[in-house]
Amino acid sequence: MSEGADKPGLLVVELWGLGDLMIATPFLQAAQARYAVTLLAKPYALELQPRFWPGVQVVPFNAPWTAFKFKEKYGLWRWPWRDMARLRHDLGRQHFARGVSSRWGDLRDHALLKVLGVRERLGFARFKNGMFLTQLLPKPAAEAHRYEYWRVAGQALGLNLPARDLLPIIPWTSGRPVLVHSGARLPVRVWPLDRYQLLVRRLRAQGRTVQVVCDAEQLAWWRKAGETSALCPTTVRALMEILDRSGVFIGNDSGPGHLAGVLGLPTFTIFGPQLPEWFAPLNPLAGWVEGKSCPYKPCSDYCRLPTPECLLNVTGEEAWTRLEIFLDRMKRPVPAT
């Protein structure tokens, strides 16, 4: 039920990627103490729930407008209308007191809150177009991290979330293998594999143990390159098990890096179309190399150029130089917060 004995019901809508769910994690952890929280999210949120938000009820839903391919995203005849009607029936009868979306100006999220019968609907309106909202939240500064939207939403709901640089530092274990993850959900965020191979070779030349992890379509390349122990987890739970055995994460601007950061691993991210100040993992020990400038940057799922030059123009030597600085910083004591 959405209404507990002493907690009002709160519906949280976060229908996008793994990284978005991890950025929402401090909000969900704080909200479950004050509200009977229901999270509407992609099915893999069920794998995250026991570890990160045990008091949150997860309702799995693959929203068609979050698909990568344009035809799947906006081909209304392809949408799962029967599943959406069932969702409306099941959640609508719970009569949520409040609902929130942190995505700026996403009328689809706002309309969904309305259709599901949420009484108080909080969100961020684009150009003050909050036709489906009952409370418009003030937009954070343009340079603010994505987490800041959840902080603002939290304040409106009576939750006091810490600033990003004051989030608790989870103790990490040095001496464990360096995990190099070469995959990403979006092709425009995948740095070339031969450059990752350069990093792996130099890390091993320093005497470090390296575990390569990749997406399914990359596995044959890594095996051919000699990485016979490369891993390709097919579930979020399997990925968490690998991360729990690792000491440092190196990878693309994608969900696995955000998951690693929340689990307490220092992360080094190779950015391309997006900005580190917006999407760096939630870990004070996060480091990165920033993508090159582009007239269209920042962008998200698609590239207007034939290839994502912002990412491809980051050379292996440049990434290695920044990575060495990052790894040297790991040797120093972390100040107490």
Bridge partner list, 171: none
- The answer to whether the 9-166 and 178-330 domains have the same CATH topology is yes
Q: Sign of dihedral through CA atoms 237, 302, 12, 42?
A: negative
From the candidate CATH numbers 3.40.50.2000, 3.40.50.1000, 3.40.190.80, 3.90.1150.10, the one assigned to the domain spanning 9-166: 3.40.50.2000
Contact predicate 218/193, CB 8 Å = yes
The DSSP bridge pattern shows strands 98-104 and 9-13 to be parallel
Q: Which residue has the higher pLDDT, 93 or 252?
A: 252
Determine the pLDDT at residue 173.
72
Tell me how far apart the alpha carbons of residues 320 and 289 are, in angstroms, rounded to a whole number: 9
CA distances from 21 to 49, 87, 256, 259, 329 (A): 10, 20, 11, 9, 28
Residue 3 has pLDDT above 60, yes or no: no
Tell me how far apart the alpha carbons of residues 332 and 244 are, in angstroms, rounded to a whole number: 22
Determine the pLDDT at residue 6.
82
Determine the pLDDT at residue 301.
76
Q: 2 falls in which pLDDT band (50, 70, 90)?
A: very low
Q: 302 falls in which pLDDT band (50, 70, 90)?
A: confident
Determine the pLDDT at residue 336.
44
Q: Report the range of poorest mean pLDDT among 42-51, 72-81, 85-94, 153-162.
A: 72-81
Q: 1 falls in which pLDDT band (50, 70, 90)?
A: very low
Tell me how far apart the alpha carbons of residues 221 and 63 are, in angstroms, rounded to a whole number: 32
Q: Which three-class secondary structure string do you get for the chain? A: CCCCCCCCEEEEECCCCHHHHHHHHHHHHHHCCCCEEEEEECCCHHHHHHHHCCCCEEEECCCHHHCCCHHHHHCHHHCCHHHHHHHHHHHHCCCCCEEEEEEECCHHHHHHHHHCCCCEEEEECHHHCCCCCCEECCCCCCCCCCHHHHHHHHHHCCCCCCCHHHCCCCCCCCCCCEEEECCCCCHHHCCCHHHHHHHHHHHHHCCCCEEEECCHHHHHHHHHCCCCCCECCCCHHHHHHHHHCCCEEEEECCHHHHHHHHCCCCEEEECCCCCHHHHCCCCCCCEEECCCCCCCCCCCCCCCCCCCHHHHCCCHHHHHHHHHHHHHHHCCCCCCC
- The mean pLDDT of the chain is 91
Percent of the chain predicted with pLDDT > 70: 93
Determine the pLDDT at residue 312.
96
Percent of the chain predicted with pLDDT > 90: 74
Tell me how far apart the alpha carbons of residues 202 and 320 are, in angstroms, rounded to a whole number: 8
Q: Mind listing the pLDDT tens digit for each residue in 15-52?
A: 999 999 999 999 999 999 999 999 999 999 999 999 99
Residue 87 has pLDDT above 70, yes or no: yes
Residue 97 has pLDDT above 80, yes or no: yes
Q: Where are the domains of the chain?
A: 9-166, 178-330
Q: Which residue has the higher pLDDT, 129 or 298?
A: 298
Tell me how far apart the alpha carbons of residues 1 and 288 are, in angstroms, rounded to a whole number: 43
Tell me how far apart the alpha carbons of residues 258 and 234 are, in angstroms, rounded to a whole number: 17
R_g (Cα) of the chain, nearest Å: 20
Q: Sign of dihedral through CA atoms 96, 98, 103, 106?
A: positive
Tell me how far apart the alpha carbons of residues 11 and 96 are, in angstroms, rounded to a whole number: 7
Determine the pLDDT at residue 242.
98
Q: Mind listing the pLDDT tens digit for each residue in 151-208?
A: 999 999 999 999 998 998 777 777 899 999 999 988 999 999 999 999 999 999 999 9
Q: Report the range of poorest mean pLDDT among 88-102, 130-144, 161-175.
A: 161-175
Determine the pLDDT at residue 90.
86
Q: Which CATH superfamily is domain 178-330 in?
A: Glycogen Phosphorylase B; (3.40.50.2000)
Determine the pLDDT at residue 329.
86
CA distances from 64 to 72, 75, 180, 226, 237 (A): 7, 9, 31, 39, 24
Q: Mind listing the pLDDT tens digit for each residue in 205-215?
A: 999 999 999 99
Average pLDDT over every residue of 209-231: 97
Q: Report the range of poorest mean pLDDT among 68-82, 212-226, 294-308.
A: 68-82
pTM score: 0.92
Residue 300 has pLDDT above 60, yes or no: yes
